[in-house]
Structure 1
Amino acid sequence: MENLPIGKAFTLMEPGPVILVTTSDGRKDNVMTISWTMVMDFSATFAMTTGSWNHSYSALLDTKECVIAIPTVDLIDTVVGVGTCSGKDTDKFEKFGLTRVKAGHVRAPLIKECIANIECRVVDVIDGHGIVVLQGIAAHVDHSRTEKRTIHAVGDGTFIVDGRKIDRKEMMRSKLPSGI
């Protein structure tokens, strides 16, 4: 085995999919790219890392709500573009041709171009680690989309694309405790 600088160890453990997170402070909608995400247990509870360096962070904390929009690989350039400019001086919806769709439970908009959108409420913030915990309250999926592969950030400017699915549901069903 070859040694890897410890500062690059994070690139070995790819997180959940890259997401777009929309917020609305009541005056302006914004969208930010978040590359470090995870599902928490077998529920609609999610965690993401962000902080005051993101323009949307204050709206997220003030309103305690957002939308997780899940893009597919055909939106990779949009996802990277959204993540490399600030909503402070850019209308990212307009600049990247993203279509706002009114959400049913939160002020932040859904993004039509994404394969799925999850309306969320902020339930916890772990300041020392920049972790925001979200509770999903409504989910929307566009089954008509041809492209279904999501993208995952390695952390150094490279991405992994979901590939072939392998079905082991039956095998796992027999090993899981009842009720899951």
Structure 2
Amino acid sequence: MQKRDFPVSQVRRYLEPGPIVLVSSHWQGERNIMTLGWHTILEFTPSLVGLMISAGNHSFELIRQSRECVINLPTTALTDTVVRIGNTTGAEVDKFAEFGLTPETASTVSAPLIAECHASFECRLHEDALVDSYNFFIFEVLKAHVAPSPRHPETLHYTGDGVFMVSGKIISRRALFRPGML
């Protein structure tokens, strides 16, 4: 396979960590939703997830002050809504009302779940040492809510330039894994 030079500023097209999520937050009576693609799993037990949230985003201070959020997993059915949420600011509009999304009460945090999403993960801040330097929050997932089907929903993966890739077909290699490595 022959390769060619590629702009380093665009490597995200190949290295985006996972599906686009909608992060909901709540602080002092104000709630918001933001579209986010910069996240990564950091640990399995406890379940730790890192989120890079721009300080310029309205959700940044809500999350920083409340020290919690809900990571909601939309499917491709919400593609246009995901983009529109990312193009608006919660400082000017209630995104739940504007986009017809249903807030649901969480079990362990004050941020709402989004009913229309396939999964919702209630999170509390675990570590904030990298927030001032990199806007990087480390959350512990305290409670997970997942629809029973489909088991592998179609999710969105952003590649830049306004283009999304949809999660592809499932390829199982379970038989090749050692039991402790699953």
TM-score, L = length of structure 1: 0.91
Deviation >6 Å, runs of 4+:
none
Aligned to 2:139: 134
Deviation for aligned residue 1:39: 1.0
The question of 1:69 aligning with 2:64 is answered: no
Aligned to 1:56, the other structure's residue is in SS state helix
Note the alpha carbon deviations across 1:36-60, whole angstroms, 9 max, x for none.
1111133421111112211011110
Contact 1:69 1:116 in 2 (8 A): yes
Identity of aligned residues (%): 36
**Could you tell me which amino acid in structure 1 is paired with residue 15 of structure 2?**
M
Contact 1:16 1:39 in 2 (8 A): no
**Could you tell me which amino acid in structure 2 is paired with residue 163 of structure 1?**
G
The question of 1:85 aligning with 2:91 is answered: no
Note the alpha carbon deviations across 1:24-74, whole angstroms, 9 max, x for none.
113121110111111113342111111221101111011101100000111
Deviation for aligned residue 1:87: 0.1
Aligned to 2:80, the other structure's residue is in SS state helix
Aligned to 2:112: 109
Contact 1:73 1:147 in 2 (8 A): no
Aligned to 1:17: 19
- Structure 1 window deviating more from structure 2 (41-50 vs 92-101): it is 41-50
Deviation for aligned residue 1:13: 1.0
Deviation for aligned residue 1:145: 5.8
Aligned to 1:21, the other structure's residue is in SS state strand
Deviation for aligned residue 1:170: 2.5
Aligned to 2:44: 42
The question of 1:121 aligning with 2:128 is answered: no
**Could you tell me which amino acid in structure 2 is paired with residue 80 of structure 1?**
V
Aligned to 2:144, the other structure's residue is in SS state strand
TM-score, L = length of structure 2: 0.90
Note the alpha carbon deviations across 1:115-164, whole angstroms, 9 max, x for none.
00000001123132221111000000112569811111113321111111
1:29 to 3, 28, 31: 31
In structure 2, the gaps of 5 or more residues are: none
The question of 1:159 aligning with 2:164 is answered: yes
Mark the CA change 1:9 to 1:167 in structure 2 (over 3 Å): closer, same or farther.
same
Mark the CA change 1:70 to 1:171 in structure 2 (over 3 Å): closer, same or farther.
same
Contact 1:20 1:33 in 2 (8 A): yes
Contact 1:72 1:147 in 2 (8 A): no
**Could you tell me which amino acid in structure 2 is paired with residue 92 of structure 1?**
K
- Structure 1 window deviating more from structure 2 (48-57 vs 122-131): it is 122-131
State the Cα RMSD in Å: 1.8
In structure 1, C-alpha distance between the alignment counterparts of 2:179 and 2:68, rounded to whole Å: 38
Note the alpha carbon deviations across 1:93-120, whole angstroms, 9 max, x for none.
0111100010011000000000000000
